[in-house]
Structure formats: C-alpha cells, structure tokens
Amino acid sequence: MENKTNVDAATINYQFTAIPTNFIYLMDSDCFKLFAILLQKETYWKNKNKLNDGYFIKSITELSEELGLKNRKDVHTIIEALYRKDIISVIVQAKKYNTAKFKLNWN
C-alpha cells in the first residue's frame, strides 16, 4: 500500500513564516498573533525591497480586523506590550488615519 502522506518538499507551493518555538512560549496568544502578522508583513515588504530603514506601514484598523478584535484599544494594548519588551519599534504616522510604522527588533 502506498503512503500518500509523504509529500515532496519541492511540490509544496505555499509559503510559511518560521517562528522559533521558544519565542512562542514566551507570549500570550494575542501578542503571538500580532507578532506573526507583523513578521509576515515584514517578510513580504523585505522580499519586494520596500522596507524603509526596516520599517513598514500598517493600519490599526487592518490589525484589528486580522486579530479579530473590534476594540482598537485592545490592539493598542497588544502593540504596547511588544513595544515595551523591545520586540518591535513603532512610529505613529497619522492619528487621523490610525496608521503606524512597524519594525521588528532582531537584536
């Protein structure tokens, strides 16, 4: 009987974002989700050579939708938690449009 679960890695046509397992254990689920979203966006813009000094722009509204949180204050709290631990850097862009520049701190 043939084993159909073995898949040649070359045939996989999707991409993934690798996150160290120990890093996952250090965060609560909301911080982890936000970090994973930001890591994916950083990778996307890095591959297109569109990072500006390591920063990329993301709206709080988009993050709220991607995190499944209706209250933007909750999103700001999660951002602040990662910022205070120096995991990310944040520069507020336009309060009117609720956007910010984000950068992952790899050091």
**Could you read off the pLDDT of 9-66 as tens digits, one per residue?**
555 555 666 777 777 777 888 999 999 999 999 999 999 999 999 999 999 999 999 9
The CA distance from 2 to 107, in Å, is 47
**Could you read off the pLDDT of 84-103 as tens digits, one per residue?**
999 999 999 877 778 899 99
Token pair belonging to 93: 């862009």
Q: pTM value?
A: 0.78
Q: C-alpha dihedral over 34, 92, 50, 40, to 10 degrees?
A: 0
